[in-house]
Amino acid sequence: MSIAQGFYGDVRLDGVNIAVVFQWPGAVHEGRGKCQPIVDERTSPEQRDAILKIMTGQDTEPFATMFAVYSSTIEQAFEPIFTKIDFEADVDARRGRVHVEGVFDIVGEPIRNPVTGAEHRVRIDLPHGFEYEIAENGSGSGRSQGNIALQLDGTYAQFAHLHLNNQGPIRHRAAV
């Protein structure tokens, strides 16, 4: 995730990149998950402190954001890793790439029509969700190593613009 503009108190978060690897043994809501938070090494100590509070759901109303929801399902959180995060995403094109030095690589692309091979556009509209209003669906592949090792090929991927505060998503559209 790349923060275009944002702040935590007086700490500016513009340009901060973060990442996380999650793993659950079953359905997310059943808990017992593991979490590896990652913060870009180019952040200041103040930015690191702020972003880790956001990522762990601190100072957030209960279940108001994805960070608070997922944090409530985690049994084991590993110490944060501070390393270089390369992040590229084009939400509308449903394409992205994230490289986290020594931790993971992921690539996302559009879903393809199984007959024609043409790009197929699928969106999720969540007028009352805790993550976003609209997300583009895609296909993702990735590999992680270290505390949580995963190999995912051609699996679910999601692309969205997030606009959050400690009370949840800031809604830009009228809910229908």
Which single residue is written with the structure tokens 């679910």? Answer: 156
Query: Could you tell me the end-to-end alpha-carbon distance of the chain, in angstroms, rounded to an integer?
Result: 28
Query: Looking at residue 175, what is its pLDDT?
Result: 53
Task: Read off the pTM.
Answer: 0.91
pLDDT for residue 13: 98
Domain boundaries along the sequence of the chain: 7-169
For 16-40, letters b (16+ CB in 10 Å) and e give bbbbbbebbeeeeeeeebbbbbbbb
pLDDT for res 172: 79
From CA 11, how far away is CA 22, in angstroms rounded? 26
- What pLDDT is attached to residue 174? 52
Strand partners, 106: 98, 142
Q: What is the pLDDT along the chain (176 residues), one digit of tens a residue?
A: 999 999 999 999 999 999 999 999 999 999 999 999 999 999 999 999 999 999 999 989 999 999 999 999 999 999 999 999 999 999 999 999 999 999 999 999 999 999 999 999 999 999 888 899 999 999 999 999 999 999 999 999 999 999 999 999 988 765 55
